[in-house]
């Protein structure tokens, strides 16, 4: 009997693990400023609209996209609400509502929610009902050209709810476990919300230089003290407090990361 129960449990777990994530009707995410799908630099940014770190990096990533221009860099923003930001899912579904009403208003919506983030956090809304919070979002949608009545109708739609869920599941399939989360040309990058435009440029510029020499992956790392005696032809990279490397020829010093080709 015990063996039969164990076998049945294995089958149930296997079915759960292999369950198919719904295929979205279009690729997930929203491109900034008509970024080209053929751009050599592709950044996928996963944000929670009620996450302070997502809010902090938001203007910087748009500045990075503007710095390179739409033909060179495509920034695609994906909405990934975290469960401990209780009102974040409504913001995520609201993004789908705005996109359905006017896809050109999506980035205005994202800007507006980030700007009003404090009003939707857990503490100020602890005594509000779900409908009251949704009405607050509806008032915000009105400011970016999507009528409150249209927004509220969209929030009552199974279609936008399903779209928000699929977008979240898509993030899970990419291994996203927090926000903000970054991919550059499909590869996860351990960037920080504190990175400046110049920090991003130091990572992205070398990718545009096809003549860059591939380098050795061996480095000398010092912890607790700074490297000051790199061999000739190498440069000191103080990438974190108390952590340094000697970057080889063809490498760049990336803040919070270290030497990278």
Quick: pLDDT tens for 184-220: 999 999 999 999 999 999 999 989 975 444 444 455 4
In a domain, 225, yes or no: yes
CA nearest to 103, candidates 194, 34, 5? 34
Average pLDDT over residues 170-178: 97
Residue 4 has pLDDT above 60, yes or no: no
Question: For the ranges 45-54, 68-77, 180-189, 238-247, which has the lowest average pLDDT?
Answer: 238-247
Q: What is the DSSP letter of 47?
A: E
Check whether residue 178 and residue 58 sit in a common domain. Answer: yes
What's residue 15's pLDDT? 45
Does the model's pTM come out above 0.95?
Answer: no
Co-location of 100 and 55 in the same domain: yes
Which residues lie closer than 8 Å to 176 by C-beta, 6 or more apart?
A: 46, 78, 80
* Higher per-residue pLDDT: 41 or 230: 41
**Predicted pLDDT of residue 227:** 63
Same domain, 182 and 219: no
Note the pLDDT of residue 212. 41
Report whether pLDDT(177) > 80. yes
Assign 241 a pLDDT band (cuts: 50, 70, 90): low
Q: Quote the pLDDT of residue 10.
A: 41
Category of 231 on φ-ψ map: left (φ > 0), alpha (ψ -120 to 50) or beta: beta
The domain tally of the chain equals 2
Q: What is the per-residue pLDDT across 122-164, written as a single tens digit (0 to 9) for each?
A: 999 999 999 999 999 999 999 999 999 999 999 999 999 999 9
Whether 14 is covered by a domain: the verdict is no
Per-residue pLDDT at 232: 83
Residue 228's pLDDT band (boundaries 50, 70, 90)? low
Burial (Cβ within 10 Å: 0-12, 13-18, ≥19) of residue 111: middle
User: Is position 38 within any domain?
Assistant: yes
d(CA 154, CA 145): 14
The answer to whether residues 162 and 51 belong to one domain is yes
* Mean of per-residue pLDDT scores for the chain: 88
**Radius of gyration of the chain measured on its C-alpha atoms:** 22
Same domain? For 50 and 143 the reply is yes
- For 55, counting Cβ atoms within 10 Å of its Cβ (0-12 exposed, 13-18 middle, 19+ buried), the class is buried
Task: Indicate whether 165 and 229 sit together in one domain.
Answer: no
Question: What's the confidence (pLDDT) of residue 240?
Answer: 67
Nearest to 49 by CA among 135, 125, 131, 107: 107
Q: Would 19 be classed as within a structural domain?
A: no
Residues 232 and 110 in one domain: no
Same domain (yes/no): 171, 238: no
pLDDT recorded at residue 161: 97
Window from 45-54, 113-122, 202-211 with minimum mean pLDDT: 202-211
User: Does residue 99 sit within a domain?
Assistant: yes
Those residues whose C-beta lies under 8 Å from the C-beta of residue 238, and which sit 6 or more positions away, are 226, 227, 244, 253
Confidence of residue 256 (pLDDT cuts 50, 70, 90): low
175 shares its domain with 222: no
Residue 197 lies in a domain: no
On whether both 218 and 179 belong to a single domain, the answer is no
Whether 40 is in a domain gets the answer yes
Q: Using the 3D structure, point to which of 142, 171, 187 is the last residue of a domain.
A: 187
163, 229: one domain:
no
Considering the domain architecture, whether residues 123 and 216 belong to the same structural domain is answered as no
Structural domain of residue 60, as residue ranges?
Answer: 30-187
Spatial distance between the Cα atoms of 120 and 261, rounded to a whole number of angstroms = 41
pLDDT beyond 90 at 50: yes
pLDDT band (50, 70, 90) for residue 242 = low
């Amino acid at each position: 009997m015990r063996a039969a129960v164990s076998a049945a449990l294995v089958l149930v777990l296997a079915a759960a693990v292999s369950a198919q994530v719904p295929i979205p009707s279009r690729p997930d995410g929203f491109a900034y400023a008509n970024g080209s799908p053929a751009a050599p630099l592709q950044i996928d940014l996963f944000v929670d609209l009620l996450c302070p770190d997502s809010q902090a990096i938001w203007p910087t990533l748009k500045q990075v996209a503007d710095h390179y221009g739409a033909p060179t860099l495509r920034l695609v923003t994906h909405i990934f609400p975290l469960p401990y930001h209780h009102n974040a899912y409504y913001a995520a579904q609201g993004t789908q509502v705005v996109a359905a009403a006017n896809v050109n208003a999506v980035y205005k919506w994202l800007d507006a929610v980030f700007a009003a983030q404090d009003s939707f956090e857990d503490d100020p809304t602890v005594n509000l009902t779900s409908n009251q919070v949704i009405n607050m979002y509806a008032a915000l949608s009105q400011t970016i050209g999507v009528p409150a009545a249209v927004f509220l109708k969209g929030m009552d739609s199974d279609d936008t709810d399903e779209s928000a869920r699929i977008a979240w599941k898509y993030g899970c399939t990419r291994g996203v476990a927090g926000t903000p989360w970054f991919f550059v040309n499909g590869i996860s990058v351990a960037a920080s919300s504190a990175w400046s435009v110049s920090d991003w440029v130091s990572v992205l510029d070398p990718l545009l230089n096809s003549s860059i020499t591939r380098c050795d992956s061996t480095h000398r790392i010092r912890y607790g003290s700074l490297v000051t005696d790199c061999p000739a032809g190498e440069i000191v990279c103080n990438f974190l407090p108390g952590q340094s490397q000697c970057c080889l020829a063809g490498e760049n010093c990336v803040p919070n990361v270290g030497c990278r080709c």
